[in-house]
């Protein structure tokens, strides 16, 4: 009797397994993409200063005084904000490991959507701090405005491709099994280091007039990964 039950149970599983296999065979996975080109409208400039001295108290005062002067200049430009600041102090040693003094450094990261105001501020700060890096990106506000439009477009592309696959394979229709929309990402051209090189050259040449910041454009990329189940019967 036990063997008969096992046989009946196995017999019942066979059509279920065949059905599951058929369902799996009718699954189709694919991806669609959407891209937009947007101006990089948010600028970030990393500026720094380095000082050395034998007396730690005097060294800290020199750095503090320069930071106070820099902060006062920054506050005058309402379109520019300090995104982050950092300050460090280290012991200075000679090649024999003997303490010879102190090294201090400070860093400010400035951010603005007004490239003209930021350029002017960089020029004003040039006697106090040097440029370490300049970066331009697409602001979160611009990304939010374009995301809804790109989402509608990419869903339209998904629907079109799903219908094309269903029709081409002579299915009666399809069901959406999985739909994953990846968050928009920014892609930059190979010339991205241009801003940094331009700023570095400004530090070395000390030419007249403010640095001219040009953000260029970025490609905003969105991708949808989906899976449909074809209806054959």
How many beta carbons lie within 10 A of that of residue 64, not counting itself?
A: 13
Mean pLDDT of 6-22: 45
In the chain, % of residues over pLDDT 70: 79
Q: Give yes or no for residue 20 having a pLDDT over 60.
A: no
Q: Give yes or no for residue 135 having a pLDDT over 60.
A: yes
Q: Which residue has the higher pLDDT, 201 or 63?
A: 63
Mean pLDDT of 163-171: 95
Identify the top-confidence range among 25-29, 106-110, 198-202, 209-213: 106-110
Provide the token pair at 147. Answer: 């995301």
CA distance 124 to 73: 8
- Give me the pLDDT at residue 59, please: 95
CA distance 149 to 13: 48
The average confidence (pLDDT) of the chain is: 85
Per-domain boundaries in the chain: 26-41+138-233, 43-136
Q: How confident is the model at residue 114 (pLDDT cuts 50, 70, 90)?
A: very high
Provide the token pair at 164. Answer: 């094309």
Q: Give yes or no for residue 15 having a pLDDT over 90.
A: no
Protein fold of 26-41+138-233: Translation Initiation Factor IF3 (3.30.110)
Mean pLDDT of 133-161: 94
Report pLDDT digits (tens) over 66-89: 999 999 999 999 999 999 999 999
Mean pLDDT of 128-156: 93
pTM strictly above 0.75: no
Mean pLDDT of 28-33: 96
- Give me the pLDDT at residue 74, please: 96
CATH ID of 43-136, from 3.10.20.30, 3.40.50.620, 3.30.70.2970, 1.10.15.40:
3.30.70.2970
- Give me the pLDDT at residue 24, please: 67
Rg (Cα) of the chain, in Å, rounded? Answer: 31
Q: Which helix (H) or strand (E) holds 67?
A: helix 56-76
Q: Give yes or no for residue 8 having a pLDDT over 50.
A: no
Report pLDDT digits (tens) over 35-49: 999 999 999 999 999
């Amino acid at each position: 009797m036990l063997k008969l039950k096992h046989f009946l149970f196995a017999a019942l599983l066979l059509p279920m397994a065949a059905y599951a296999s058929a369902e799996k065979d009718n699954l189709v996975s694919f991806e669609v993409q959407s891209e937009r080109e947007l101006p990089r409208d948010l600028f970030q400039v990393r500026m720094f200063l380095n000082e050395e001295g034998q007396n730690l108290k005097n060294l800290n005062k020199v750095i503090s005084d320069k930071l106070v002067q820099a902060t006062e200049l920054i506050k005058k430009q309402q379109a520019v904000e300090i995104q982050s600041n950092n300050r460090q102090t280290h012991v200075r040693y000679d090649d024999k490991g003997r303490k010879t003094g102190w090294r201090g450094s400070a860093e400010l990261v400035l951010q603005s959507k007004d490239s003209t105001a930021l350029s002017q501020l960089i020029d004003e700060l040039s006697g106090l701090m040097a440029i370490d890096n300049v970066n331009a990106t697409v602001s979160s506000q611009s990304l939010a405005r374009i995301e809804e439009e790109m989402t509608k477009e990419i869903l339209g592309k998904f629907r079109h491709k799903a219908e094309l696959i269903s029709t081409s394979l002579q299915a009666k229709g399809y069901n959406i099994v999985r739909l994953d929309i990846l968050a928009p990402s920014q892609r930059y051209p190979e010339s991205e280091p241009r801003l940094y090189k331009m700023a570095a050259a400004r530090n070395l040449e000390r030419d007249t007039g403010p640095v001219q910041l040009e953000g260029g454009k970025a490609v905003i990329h969105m991708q949808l990964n989906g899976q449909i189940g074809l209806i054959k019967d």
